Structure 1
Amino acid sequence: MKFLAVLCVRNEAAFLLDWLAHHRAVGFDHVLVYSNDCDDGTDAMLDRLAEMGHVTHIRNDGPYAKGGIQFTALKRAGTLDVVRQAEWLLPLDVDEFVNIHVGDHTLAALLNALPQATAITLTWRLFGNAGQVRYQDAPVTRTFTRCAPAVMYWPWRASMFKTLYRNDGTYGQMGVHRPRKPDDARLKDAKWFDGEGRTLDRQFKRRRIFSNFGQSNTALVQLNHYPLGAMESYVLKADRGRAVHSDDLLGLDYWVERNFNTDEDTSVQSLAPAADAIAQELKSDPELARLHAAAVAWRHARFDALMRHEPYRALFGRLLMAAPSRPVPRKAAHFMAAHATAARDGPRDS
């Protein structure tokens, strides 16, 4: 196996087949998926996909380590043969889509462009809500095409990345954004590149989880990130909870830091014909088609149920009232960054 994606999901069955189809088209040979506490049939869909050979499915029902649900899954994944046998690893979320801009837009083309790489950072490009209110059963990459500018100065989350890395023993454990537990003896030979093909310095080999501000980081590859979806879907996301910080309630602050719609980017659709063909093949299976339809119905019913409770009605109302987010100008971002640096490096307030 050359390329393995690792995914953690809860109540995502309505999106799963389109996500899987896209990443099969990108070039992933297999997907390892952890599920937990599913109410919409995600676990049943994954069981069927596992029977068909498309995924390896493991129920991640706990107990969970201090780092939370996703950290626990990734830590356990390192013991599995399906991980050990892979040449390249990439942990992803179901709202993230690999988008390669070189060659035939596949992982093979990306490695051909960066033949020396042992790790490549895939920087997020944040895709906003674009005023979509009601959830629709349609591919995310076709529904949401408005996004943040290629160059962002604030917030730092807009420049976070996921790491595609060679599974050669340099790192002993997967992490959400970057590999962990480096082997010092091997680290000197690791070669990290960013999504523009630039060589990255040694701090990226150990600790960085976001790309440098104020520059484009995505000429060769980017990670399309759709963290919001339609307003209905965001309410369901708040109900579901977060995979990393499961105790944090989603509110308007999370929304504002991600709802950028100033630009349009449809480049991910370069693989749409191939992905659509794979999706149709998957949905031709009667059991997968039934589970997908049931998941779509579940999302509509769950939203109606949540709207009977004031906290979720209030959240939905705030989303309707909130304007799209404005990118922070460079001068203002530098002002805030200077204060952040001073707070980190200077004497603490008494």
Structure 2
Amino acid sequence: MIQGNFDCIAGRDVCGWAWSPGKPLEAQPVTVLLDGMVVCQGLANHHRPDLHAAGIGLGNHAFYLPLPEALTDGRTGTLTVIAGNPGQALGGTPVRITLPNNRFKPVAPPQVPPPLTLSICAIVKDEGPYLLEWIAHHRMVGVEHFVIFDNASTDNTTSLLSALARAGIVDHVPWPDIPHVAAQRPAYVAGLARLSDRCRWVAFIDTDEFLNPIDGRDVPAILADYDLAAGLVIPWRIFGSNGLLEQQDDLVIRRFTRRAAADHPLNRSVKTIVQARLVARPDIHTPSITDGSLIDEFGRVAGTQGHPSHHAVPDARKLVINHYFTKSKAEWARKRSRGQATETVDSSARLRPDEHFATHDINDVEDLSLANRDQLVREEMERLKHLISL
């Protein structure tokens, strides 16, 4: 007996889950049909924390199967998803559905530009040792304002954000945990409400993610190349621990200078800088938009490779995100103990699997692109400290 469901089409990926309780370690085959014709096949073998939290095996039963790109032109048809052998139709199918149109759709620029060009919206918890560097770095690459949600921090994060708010650098928003509600997405919705009329572009990123304009211009100058797009998807570059076991008294961008190669599968995830006025619903990686298209720096529409949150840009030349995912082994342990803001406090999936350190601790390529900017960042940190003292 197969259990499962067709959930949605994201980008050109048919998404859902399937498993057999009698064979919980076996990945089930999945076949997708459109108007009775097989259009793609694969396995339900991807991990989803919500499945794990719901007791569906170890959670490794999700599928993301890309439709042929030629089909994602807005056509309508009957979609059926079959899983198992012999196969059975999953819940939610067959269903009459209009496939997404992944052709680029330009948007008109705003009639009246808002006062700010670029802001960041983020949620933090116990990030006191890193906040000042992260804010200083982003001010140096063109970010004008920050909306930061403080998710029940217990270190000096709250006092630091309060001081920065008094200096006009950030909007500091206390954001306590609510039972049975994951904190991050509602925070992004509240952040968008604060920014939609004030800012042209907003980046939804975390404090272990550093925008890195590798072509030498600042970020707003790069965004000016994409006025006709609803948003720009920025590829990750995952940095490892550099072999460090303990935290050291130095900048993050100086301590961690080795990463996974640009074409490593870990670097298929993206974050988005989006035109605030065009966001229907913010999300962790790629938001839903009311008009236009999300594209990468080469104009390829997010979703044409599959799921829009997974979009490989190994040949990026303008802008990437340095993602300091692990830091040192000791810092990883503290990060893991804080839990993920994408999960509810009472969820068993709130703690990241400890093996994520080993799978993300990739140090194959030396990358000094941000390390070489450390003096500029230190100087900006001193200016921020002076503002706080005033």
Q: Which runs of 5+ in 1 are unaligned?
A: 289-350
Q: Which residue of 1 aligns with 2:233?
A: 121
What residue is the counterpart of 1:291 in the other structure?
none
Which residue is equivalent to 2:212? 99
Unaligned runs of at least 5 residues, structure 2: 1-115
How many Å separate the matches in 2 of 1:200 and 1:65? Answer: 38
Percentage of pairs with the same residue: 25
CA shift, 1:49, in A, is 0.4
More strand by share: 2
Aligned to 2:354: 252
1:159-198 maps to which residues of 2 (within 5 A)?
159-169=268-278, 171-180=279-288, 182-183=289-290, 186=291, 190-194=292-296, 197-198=297-298
Q: Which deviations, in whole Å up to 9, do the C-alpha atoms of 1:278-314 show, x marking residues without a partner?
A: 11112335759xxxxxxxxxxxxxxxxxxxxxxxxxx
Distance 2:197 2:304 in 1: 23
Give the Cα–Cα distance (whole angstroms) in 1 for the partners of residues 332 and 306 of structure 2: 33
Q: Which amino acid aligns with 2:187?
A: A
- The residue identity in structure 2 corresponding to 1:151 is D
- Root-mean-square deviation (CA, aligned residues, Å) is 2.3
> Residues of 1 paired with 2:236 and 2:302: CA distance?
21
In structure 2, C-alpha distance between the alignment counterparts of 1:54 and 1:30, rounded to whole Å: 6
Summarize the alignment of residues 152-301 of structure 1 with structure 2, pairs less than 5 Å apart: 152=264, 154=265, 157-169=266-278, 171-180=279-288, 182-183=289-290, 186=291, 190-194=292-296, 197-201=297-301, 203=303, 208-212=308-312, 216-245=314-343, 247=347, 248=349, 249-269=351-371, 271-284=373-386
Q: With structure 1 as the length reference, what TM-score do the two structures score?
A: 0.71
Give the CA deviation at 1:151.
1.1
Q: Mark the CA change 1:21 to 1:199 in structure 2 (over 3 Å): closer, same or farther.
A: same
Question: Given the superposition, is the C-alpha separation of residues 176 and 65 from structure 1 closer, same or farther in structure 2, using an over 3 Å criterion?
Answer: farther
Match in the other structure for 1:89: 202
Which of residues 169, 179, 184 is equivalent to 1:70? 184
Q: Are the equivalent residues in 2 in contact too, given 1:14–1:137 (CA < 8 A)? A: no
Matches of 1:271 and 1:109 in 2, distance apart?
18
Q: 1:206 to 1:4 in 2, by over 3 A?
A: farther
Letter in 1 for 2:166: E
Whether the 8 Å CA contact 1:125–1:158 is kept in 2: the answer is yes
CA distance in 2, matches of 1:250, 1:191: 32
User: Contact conserved, 2:167 with 2:388, CA < 8 A, in 1?
Assistant: no
Q: CA deviation at 1:256?
A: 2.1
Number of aligned residues: 271
Query: Cα–Cα, structure 1 residues 36 and 287, in superposed 2: closer, same or farther, change >3 Å?
Result: farther
Distance 1:159 1:5, change over 3 A: same
Q: What residue is the counterpart of 1:53 in the other structure? A: 168
Give the structure, 1 or 2, with the largest relative contact order (CA under 8 Å, sep 6 or more): 1
1:123–1:217: 8 Å Cα contact kept in structure 2? no
Aligned to 1:17: 132
1:6 and 2:121 matched: yes
TM-score (norm 2): 0.64
